[in-house]
Chain A
Amino acid sequence: MGRLRLLSRSILPFIVGIVILAGLQSVMPPVFAVILIYMGVNVVLAVSLNVVNGFTGQFSLGHAGFMAVGAYTAAKITLSLSGVQFPLLGYGVSQQVIFAIALGAAMATAAAAGFLVGMPSLRLRGDYLAIVTLGFGEIIRSIIENMKFLGQATGLSGLPQRSNLIWVGVSVIATVVMAYRLASSTQGRALFAIREDEIAAEAMGVDTTGYKVRAFVISAAYAGLAGALIAHAIQLSTPRMFTFIRSIEVVVMVVLGGLGSISGAIVAACTLTVALEALREFQAYRMVAYALLLIILMLTRPQGIFGTRELWDLPFFRKLFRRPALAASGAAPTEVRDDSTGGAR
């Protein structure tokens, strides 16, 4: 019985999600569907980067590199298996299965890349780590640019159009569930400890290097997933999609939402995607708008929109759903008062 309940707990969000998404997919006009897909991909990126930058407090600027690894892996698989039909399955189903395999492979190779980058560089901290990850991101991109096998600068085109609301939606749920479970687990708390005080974390028995590498690997895997999704949405994978600017965009989302806040990353990713679509006519001023947004944010609310808190920690939502843990102990929600001076100290 316990086992069954457990199983249902782990897959329930996906079942509910798929039903809703399938409904959406059938009624949504394509124009909005595209924006929703971009939004979903950005949410996957922001939430996964948040595991490294927000939870663990390590400043990584290489997210686009891992996206590229995932995108190219998946693209290669779907391209080379494009005509394949599995026995007993229809053509359409076979292609979906192949896409699922491609997504899995994208996550695996991106995770491997994350491990390779993380092992040497995570001994560094702060600015140094940022520079090294930035360098690695660019290295990955320029390797791709020079490989005939991967189409060099023109990239791989003619990918099958596979990313729909269902695939993207399920990926978003998978990412958010991952981040949420991590945040509320003892492993996640070990990551927070590293962010708060690395020396103390080490002294309290947290294998800081090991945990940083693990966080990096998980984050890279989901970046690879996002890369694979975006490539199969626009049916194209070129090195230009994965420049340093792309990494910065994701960092902006995470910082805007509040480092360490899952819901913050989601809200910021959605807002920025919509804002960028709305600003499409002013393409040239996009980066100006980005920079201005960041400056204004840093001046007025350096800890991001949510700080390290979640949407459901805000007083308004507290009232809506009283959190059982707090209600049981009878403690006042004292956490609310802390964040106003967070960045200044």
Chain B
Amino acid sequence: MTAPLDVQNVTMRFGGLKALSEFTLVMQPGELVGLIGPNGAGKTTAFNAITGVYEPSEGEVKVGGVRVNQEKPHQICTRGIARTFQNIRLFKQLTALDNVRIACHAGAESGFFDALFLTGHHRKEEVRILARAEEYLEVMGLAHRRDEISRNLPYGEQRRLEIARALATGPKVLCLDEPAAGMNAAEKTNLMGLVRSIRDRFGLAILIIEHDMRVAMGISERMLVLDHGITIAQGKPEAIRKNPKVIEAYLGDAYLEEKHIAVPPQENSK
């Protein structure tokens, strides 16, 4: 079976800066993978390379076995990769329902003429889209906010609406860029449960960038750690927690010296 997402040795260069080097990630259905790293490590760059915002300088991104390097974000989205954004990017002046309905548009078959002449085809599609959008709002616990303008929603609900919107595109892989940012402790716990239940319900692979270690460690089954664009470690959360190179990347070598932890040489990083 082909993996829903297969990223091989992707390098992103911006002029002389290597924001991401030889990033490799294969996601299987139902996997929950965490992507962590200090600020500026290249996590969001990796997301952008996967979702088509940037075209990788080197390497290959395959979605469901198809090479998508040159495709535009909307094409990659219809192939089954959905994402949320680090700084919320909802359609602010539209209602919660419309936000989700727009995402249901991915793969819509009726065109402008169907819309202008109200063909039966178009009307069936509208009914289908409405039903789907309401379902996703329900899943994310936002059914009661259906007709609210999205920018009037509380912060936590805006985050959840963004996830509902991403889900509505019908993805096989869901990429969440810091979904817990700005949430309080209770909301974070809630979110962790929600992410797991989404995975179970829709059988998705979920790739999650997270700064909050408690959330990242608590939710991921496998983790990748980036630092200066280089994948410095990967494995189970328990192993990552103890990995000296990860600790060094986050807390600096002074911390390691103080605690008398030895850093293994760079060569055996993989």
Contact = CB atoms under 8 A, between A and B. Distances in A.
B93 interface: yes
Given A196-B91, A200-B85, A206-B105, A178 B116 contact: yes
Contacts of B13: none
A212 to B, nearest CB: 12
B112 A218 contact: yes
Interface string A175-216: 000100110011111101100110111111111100000100
A329 B146 contact: yes
Nearest to A334: B148
What 4 A-B pairs have minimum CB-CB distances, sorted nearest first? A205-B106, A196-B91, A185-B115, A205-B77
Contacts, number: 131
Contacts of B102: 186, 189-190, 192-193, 201, 204, 206
Given A204-B102, A205-B77, A205-B78, A334 B152 contact: yes
B147 A186 contact: no
Given A182-B116, A196-B92, A338-B93, A205 B51 contact: no
A319 interface: no
Given A178-B116, A200-B89, A205 B169 contact: yes
A338 B96 CA distance: 14
Interface stretch (A3-11, A91-99, A281-289): A3-11
B129 interface: yes
Contact of A203 (B77, B108, B115, B123): B77
Nearest to B170: A205
B248 interface: no
B196 interface: no
22 contacts: A9-B118, A181-B115, A185-B126, A186-B101, A186-B108, A186-B115, A187-B112, A187-B115, A189-B94, A190-B105, A192-B98, A193-B94, A197-B89, A200-B85, A200-B89, A202-B73, A205-B74, A205-B78, A205-B105, A308-B93, A329-B146, A331-B147
Contacts of A178: 116
Contacts of A120: none
B259 to A, nearest CB: 42
B93 A186 contact: no
A97 B110 CA distance: 31
Contacts of A31: none
Contacts of B78: 205
A218 B111 CA distance: 13
A208 B74 contact: yes
Contact of A204 (B103, B123, B152): B103
B118 A203 contact: no
B149 A214 contact: no
A203 B112 contact: no
Contact of A205 (B91, B98, B103, B110): B103
Nearest to A338: B149
B151 interface: yes
Given A192-B102, A196-B90, A333-B147, 12 more contacts: A181-B118, A186-B102, A186-B104, A186-B105, A189-B105, A203-B51, A203-B82, A203-B85, A204-B165, A218-B112, A326-B147, A334-B149
Contact of A329 (B115, B118, B147): B147
A338 B92 CA distance: 10
A197 B112 CA distance: 21
B146 A189 contact: no
- Interface residues on chain A, size class: 35 or more
A331 B93 contact: no
A342 B94 CA distance: 12
A187 B120 CA distance: 15
B234 interface: no
A204 B93 contact: no
A184 to B, nearest CB: 8
Contacts of B101: 186, 189
Nearest to A209: B72
A337 B85 CA distance: 27
Interface in B51-109: 51, 53, 72-75, 77-78, 82-83, 85, 89-95, 98, 101-108
Contacts of B51: 203
B122 to A, nearest CB: 7
Contacts of B90: 196-197, 200
B117 A202 contact: no
Interface string A79-97: 0000000000000000000
A331 B104 CA distance: 22
B141 to A, nearest CB: 16
A196 B104 CA distance: 17
B135 interface: no
B125 interface: yes
